[in-house]
Chain A
Amino acid sequence: MTIEMTDIVKTYGMNSVEVQALRRVSLSVAKNEYVAIMGPSGSGKSTLMNIIGCLDPPTSGSYSLEGEDVSTMKEDQLAEVRNQKIGFVFQTFNLIARSNVFHNVELPLIYKGVSVAKRRKIAEEALEAVGLADRMKHKPPELSGGERQRVAIARALVNKPSLLLADEPTGNLDSTTGSEIMSLLDDLHADGNTIILVTHEPEMARHAHRIIRLKDGVIESDTASSARAKRTA
């Protein structure tokens, strides 16, 4: 199993008003699965994604990623896990605006300690894969939203993560650009990547094989996506 979560609880605002964003969520995701997480606003989707991505520690519960217990890890160990096992794609792209596209993409490799020559090769390949090889010297503000999101995807992929997490990756894009990004994710899934996607739109969720619905911090349903089965048939 890539992900094994048991009884994950996340509580915000410890002293004053407590918000239980997640209440005893248990979840397993296997290698090369394509999972969509859906649910109304405030249901805890992002909270769950951040815990899966080791950005935020759970209040309680256990979580192992590729057989490694990450719920007890220290911050620097978690940084290493994020660097080498997880690729993030955010709704707001989260690129460093004053660095050019190439530097944004090579950054995870810098933190991993990869040599300059290797970095150049890997980052160029990743940009090639998302069709932006010719925009390397541009800065993020000079790119369109779709292009920025493709840079973010290239960045997420350079360390060959075991898990690609995308929290509403098309949320800031128009529908045409959105579907381009979705077909890019489809390709990545076909290449063997494990993908977890948060989305509001059923249209997007249909790309996944499995749909998990959250409501008020608990899993309401966890089903195989029939739509996709139909479409691929």
Chain B
Amino acid sequence: MIWIEAFKMAMGAIRAHKLRSCLTLVGIIAGVASIIAVMTGISVIQSTMEQEMSVLGSTTFQVQKWPAGGFNNNADFRKIQQRKPITVANANAVRERVKTADLVGAEIWRFGSTAKFKDESTNSNLWICGGTREYPPNNTHYVEFGKNITDEDVRVGRKVVVIGYQIAETLFPFIDPIGQVIRADGRKFTVVGVFEEKKSAMGGNFDNYLLMPVSTFLRIYGMRDERRGGERSVNMTVNAISPELVDAAIEETRAVLRLERGVGPREEDDFTIFTNDSQIRSFNQATEGVKIGAFVIGIVALVVAGIGIMNIMLVSVTERTKEIGIRKAIGAKRRDILLQFLLEAIVLCNVGGVIGVAVGFGLGNIITLFTDFAVSVPMNWAVIGVTFCTIVGLTFGLWPAVKASKLAPIDALSYE
């Protein structure tokens, strides 16, 4: 018999038992939806994270005291705490000696400042970055109005700032900020530039910080971290001359720093170098566990649902014994009956699968309703979900279908 006919018969049988079919589908829907929802959710976060973490230019890498990810244990934490802070002198050494790099920036960050202009004031949640002229290109956050800080500003330690877009909006609703004098933590600074607006879905601080020369920063706040104790550590950004030279630049930087910081030949680095890619990779590793968990839960739900399908198909075969007898009496072969019941199970599962995928996409994207995260519809997971449903239908529908196909015609026909 032709597939189309068997398919139509299957649909007819499913439609004839709407309520029962729906109840059976709940399990399949739950299984598929849970997998798809988690995968969608992760992909929503992932695509946004990748964007957010790609602040560094593609040829740029960072050098920090602290690693990008967390720590495996307390011992690791303590070991890293022992590291000497990275200094402006370290950055200067790299700038002078690494020939494969053209831009080497040094930044120090401090949280909790307030900026004021006349009667306007920001909250006390500003970040201050003491940096160099390399900061904007290396972090792909450019000055839109006015100008950047200069080498001269850093050498002399001028009290000039480039302010974030949001700060400019708060302090200068009506006038041009360039050239105005603001007070940050009570000290006077001349605004030389305003950064471009750079919204962040992850609640980052891209529009809420001000950049001043690192020398000015050190003169005011010092090298000592008044909150956490210990020395402040410089965050170094290094830009390689070309994409092919990124690896060479990393190696050169490492060599210069080891020498500069007196790391012995057999000791490991006392600093961490990372690129956008390595950060994204470590995020992906972190989500791997969640993915596997969701997958396992989904599979378990699907197997349970599959047993439900098998049960309902066995009931269906028994109920329709007479029908099977009639079909056989007028010429249905074993495989005709087998195909009919197997397709019924598969179609049932796939109806559930498609609904499950839709529900999963919906649930996985709920987070985008409340945040600026981008909606994500991972079609590859839709395909995987539907494929799994087919496998479940095939596996658990097989036995009932075989049972139906093996009924003796006369016994089936005289079944009451």
Contact = CB atoms under 8 A, between A and B. Distances in A.
A-B complex is real: yes
Interface of A: 50, 53, 55-56, 75-76, 78-80, 82-84, 88, 94-96, 98-99, 107-108, 110-113, 155, 159
B55 to A, nearest CB: 62
Interface in B308-325: 322-323, 325
Interface of B: 1-2, 5, 12-13, 16, 322-323, 325-336, 408-410, 413
A199 B204 CA distance: 90
A112 B334 contact: no
B334 A76 contact: yes
Given A75-B334, A88-B329, 18 more contacts: A55-B409, A56-B408, A56-B409, A56-B410, A78-B409, A79-B328, A79-B333, A79-B409, A82-B330, A83-B330, A83-B331, A84-B331, A95-B326, A96-B326, A98-B13, A110-B5, A112-B331, A155-B330
Contacts of B323: 96
Contact of A55 (B13, B16, B413): B413
Given A56-B410, A99-B12, A107 B327 contact: yes
B332 A79 contact: yes
Contacts of A75: 333-334, 409
Contacts of A112: 331
Contacts of A98: 12-13, 16
B336 A111 contact: yes
A96 B333 CA distance: 17
Contacts of B409: 55-56, 75, 78-79, 82
Main secondary structure on A side of the interface with B: helix
Contacts of B322: 94
Nearest to B4: A116
Contact of A94 (B2, B5, B326, B334): B326
The residue in B327, B330, B413 that gathers the most chain A C-beta atoms within 10 A of its C-beta is B330
Contacts of B336: 111
A56 B407 CA distance: 12
Given A55-B409, A56-B410, A111 B332 contact: yes
Contact of A113 (B1, B326, B408): B1
A79 B16 contact: no
Nearest to B13: A98
A96 B325 CA distance: 10
Contact of B333 (A56, A80, A95): A80
Nearest to A106: B5
B331 A108 contact: yes
Nearest to B412: A55
A149 to B, nearest CB: 14
B325 to A, nearest CB: 8
A124 B12 CA distance: 22
A50 B414 CA distance: 11
Contacts of A99: 12
Contacts of B5: 110
A27 B336 CA distance: 33
Contacts of A94: 322, 325-326, 329, 413
Given A94-B326, A96-B326, A111 B333 contact: yes
A108 B333 CA distance: 11
A60 B64 CA distance: 92
A79 B331 contact: yes
B329 A55 contact: yes
A110 B16 contact: no
A178 B268 CA distance: 102
Contact of A111 (B1, B13, B410): B1
Given A111-B333, A113-B1, A155-B330, A50 B410 contact: yes
Nearest to B320: A96
Contacts of B328: 79, 82
Contacts of A95: 326
A95 B330 CA distance: 11
A111 B330 contact: yes
Contacts of A84: 331
Nearest to A87: B330
B330 A88 contact: yes
Nearest to B334: A76
- A-B complex: 6 closest residue pairs judged by Cβ atoms: A83-B331, A111-B331, A56-B410, A108-B330, A79-B333, A76-B333
A217 B269 CA distance: 100
5 contacts: A50-B410, A79-B334, A82-B328, A88-B330, A98-B13
Given A76-B333, A79-B328, A94-B326, A113 B2 contact: yes
A108 B327 CA distance: 8
Contacts of B408: 56
A105 to B, nearest CB: 10
Contacts of A55: 329, 409-410, 413
Contacts of A76: 333-335
The residue in A75, A99, A110 that gathers the most chain B C-beta atoms within 10 A of its C-beta is A110
B329 A82 contact: yes
B216 to A, nearest CB: 85
A110 B331 CA distance: 9
A80 to B, nearest CB: 7
Contacts of A96: 323, 326-327
Nearest to B330: A108
